[in-house]
Amino acid sequence: MKYSNIEEHFDAIIVGSGTCGATIAKELSKQNKKVLILERGDNSPLKESLLGYAKISNEVRVTDKLKDLRAFTTGGTTAMYLAVADLPPIETFKNLGIDLTEDLEQVRKELPIAEISDGLIGAQAKKLSESAIQLGYDWKKKLMLVDQSKFNHNNYYEVKWKAKTYVEEALSNGLKLVNQATVSKVIHENKKAIGIEYSIGKKKNTFKAYGEKIILAAGSLATPIILRNSGIKNVVNHGFYINPSIGLIGSVPGLSSAENFCGCMGAKLDDDIELIDANFHRFLFNVGMLFSGKPLRIASYPKHIAITVKVKEPVGGELTEKGKYHKELTEDDHQKLKRGLDVADKILKNAGAKKIFKTGLISGGALGTIKIKEHVNTNLQTEYDNLFVCDGSILPDNERITPTLTLVCLAKYLSRHLIASF
Ligand SMILES: Cc1cc2nc3c(=O)[nH]c(=O)nc-3n(C[C@H](O)[C@H](O)[C@H](O)COP(=O)(O)OP(=O)(O)OC[C@H]3O[C@@H](n4cnc5c(N)ncnc54)[C@H](O)[C@@H]3O)c2cc1C
């Protein structure tokens, strides 16, 4: 449904329908709250295809050479994520005054969180795991957000949990979802948020919507810009982090594989360097080979094994006055990548891989632009009353876990506080 002018007054207006926005919408609408989501992307059915990905993907430059990938669509970036589900760092949040224990318990009951069962792990992932373990690395299964009970060996994309399912649940409870609505700023009076200004599609006209609680869940790179446009200037004053990553890929003669749930295993070399199984299922492998300029490898998909090296770099960089993100990677960051790549190379070679090549450097997720206890309080409220932030921007930098599960928990935590405060 598209709205240009919204006369109604909402209990809550949520900006963005990604992991956090969708979860909050579900929780509040379940309690009969009148909720509006303004979502920049479209609401087309999600499909894993080149055209489908091209339509929703959006990149933001974060270093001179790197862009961070995100998705503009109902359900946000979960429309193209891998569904690896690291558990939230409960102690880190407790130290910040936020207890997610109860939320995690609920999320564990609600979502299909489990390691991939042995029978569903492809030969490529097994080969890699055997090699890593043989060399003494602590190569372990990771949790994933995958409904394995519905898996039929073809539907890798469909069985991943996506935030869109929460939006659909909220819609059935009365949520209003406006697509192609790009929010520019928060309307506030006397340091109290009262509404949102947005435009529809490519039109320049702006529209307004009013509500009691305003929640920014537009993602870690969009939310700080909305806050700055709204007069909160100090966000991103410490920079952000991007977890620079590189893939290493080789071909094992004679290997013949079923497909894989990419990311389902891995090992930490130390606090700063992580190696992750990068055995994509066929569609993502093909996309990767096209982008790496290796289209001829597509035909020999079943022989390929791969590892992603992800490193922790210090928080830094800036959001310029003109709204551009920028950070420099240091020699130390490159050294960590090299250490990881050396180990990845050993593991691939030990597995029998030949013709090994390195992908380009990628951003492993630009996060942590906003600080809890500085830009938002422990209720995730900003310096403006009734204006909250809940998305990847508030993830602390000390533990670089895959964020989705933590974000679902944070969104449930905020929803509990909001419901109690109406
Ligand atoms: C290729 C890839 C693989 C990944 N794999 C994993 C993984 O395996 N495990 C994991 O945990 N994480 C993974 N991630 C990261 C994860 O998907 C994101 O960190 C997470 O979805 C962020 O949630 P969010 O709510 O902060 O933002 P998003 O999910 O990005 O949602 C933000 C929403 O806000 C909308 N929006 C943006 N700007 C505006 C605006 N101005 N007005 C209105 N709406 C706006 C966007 O369209 C979007 O729908 C991956 C990411 C990528 C790109």
Instruction: Show the DSSP H helices in 180-262 as ranges.
Output: 223-229
Summarize pLDDT for 58-116 with one digit per residue, the tens: 999 999 889 999 999 999 999 999 999 999 999 999 999 999 999 999 999 999 999 99
Distance 353 CA to ligand 1 centre (A): 34
Q: Which residue has the CA at smallest separation from atom 49 of ligand 1?
A: 76
Burial call 63-93: b when 16+ CB within 10 Å, e when fewer: beebebbbbbbbbbbbbbbbbbbbbbbbebb
Residues 147, 77 share a domain? no
Residues 403, 266 share a domain? no
Residues 192, 294 share a domain? no
User: What would the mean pLDDT of 413-420 be, rounded to a whole number?
Assistant: 98
Instruction: Show the DSSP H helices in 250-386 as ranges.
Output: 282-291, 331-350
Residues 296, 225 share a domain? no
Q: CA-CA distance, 399 to 390, in Å (whole number)?
A: 18
The answer as to whether 1 is a domain residue is no
Q: What is the DSSP string of 360-421?
A: --EES--B--S-BTTTB-TT-B-SSBTEEE-SGGG--SS----SHHHHHHHHHHHHHHHHHH
- 327: exposed, middle or buried (Cβ count in 10 Å: 0-12, 13-18, 19+): buried
CA Rg, the chain, in Å? 21
Q: Give residue 62's identity as a one-letter amino acid code.
A: V
Q: What integer pLDDT is reported at residue 395 of this predicted model?
A: 97
Q: What integer pLDDT is reported at residue 79 of this predicted model?
A: 97
Residues 6 or more apart whose Cβ sits within 8 Å of residue 60: 67, 68, 70, 221, 325, 366
Residue 266, ligand 1, Cβ within 6 A: no
**In contact, 313 and 240? CB cutoff 8 Å:** no
Boundary residue ending a domain (322, 342, 363):
363
Q: Give residue 363's identity as a one-letter amino acid code.
A: S
Which of the residue ranges 290-294, 318-322, 328-332, 409-413 would you say has the lowest mean pLDDT? 290-294
Distance 168 CA to ligand 1 centre (A): 17
Boundary residue ending a domain (363, 380, 413):
363
Residues 176, 62 share a domain? yes
Summarize pLDDT for 308-359 with one digit per residue, the tens: 999 999 999 999 999 999 999 999 999 999 999 999 999 999 999 999 999 9
Q: Which helix (H) or strand (E) holds 124?
A: helix 123-134
Q: What integer pLDDT is reported at residue 319 of this predicted model?
A: 96
Residues 67, 48 share a domain? yes
Percentage of the chain surpassing pLDDT 90?
A: 89
The answer as to whether 4 is a domain residue is no
Residues 62, 188 share a domain? yes
Task: Give the max Cα distance, the chain.
Answer: 69
- 3-state DSSP percent of the chain in helix, strand and coil, to 5: 30, 25, 40
Confidence of residue 1 (pLDDT cuts 50, 70, 90): very low
Q: What integer pLDDT is reported at residue 6 of this predicted model?
A: 65
Of ligand 1's listed atoms, the one at least distance from the Cα of 20 is 25
**What are the structure tokens assigned to 363, written together?**
């951003």
Summarize pLDDT for 142-201 with one digit per residue, the tens: 999 999 999 998 899 999 999 999 999 999 999 999 999 999 999 999 999 999 999 998
Question: Across the chain, what does the average pLDDT equal?
Answer: 95
Residue 395, ligand 1, Cβ within 6 A: no
The answer as to whether 179 is a domain residue is yes
**In contact, 325 and 317? CB cutoff 8 Å:** yes
At residue 152, φ and ψ (nearest 5 deg) are: -125, 20
At residue 396, φ and ψ (nearest 5 deg) are: -65, 160
Q: CA torsion sign, 206 to 207 to 212 to 215?
A: negative
Summarize pLDDT for 373-394 with one digit per residue, the tens: 999 999 999 999 999 999 999 9
The answer as to whether 26 is a domain residue is yes
Question: DSSP state, 46?
Answer: P
Of ligand 1's listed atoms, the one at least distance from the Cα of 411 is 25
Q: What's 327-364 look like in SS3? A: CCCCHHHHHHHHHHHHHHHHHHHHCCCEEEEECCCEEC
Residues 213, 87 share a domain? yes
Of ligand 1's listed atoms, the one at least distance from the Cα of 402 is 11
Residues 232, 253 share a domain? no
Q: What integer pLDDT is reported at residue 315 of this predicted model?
A: 96
Distance 73 CA to ligand 1 centre (A): 9
The answer as to whether 354 is a domain residue is yes
**pLDDT > 60? residue 227:** yes
CATH number, domain with residue 219: 3.50.50.60
Confidence of residue 134 (pLDDT cuts 50, 70, 90): very high
The answer as to whether 304 is a domain residue is yes
Total domains in the chain come to: 2
Range of the domain at 270: 115-158+241-363
Q: What integer pLDDT is reported at residue 2 of this predicted model?
A: 42
Residue 410, ligand 1, Cβ within 6 A: no
**In contact, 354 and 253? CB cutoff 8 Å:** yes
Residue 23, ligand 1, Cβ within 6 A: no
The answer as to whether 259 is a domain residue is yes
Residue 41, ligand 1, Cβ within 6 A: yes
Distance 361 CA to ligand 1 centre (A): 20
Q: Are strands 206-216 and 387-389 parallel, antiparallel or unpaired?
A: parallel
Residues 332, 376 share a domain? no
Residue 83, ligand 1, Cβ within 6 A: yes
Residues 232, 245 share a domain? no
Q: CA-CA distance, 218 to 17, in Å (whole number)?
A: 8
At residue 324, φ and ψ (nearest 5 deg) are: -105, 135
Residue 198, SS3?
strand
Residues 25, 128 share a domain? no
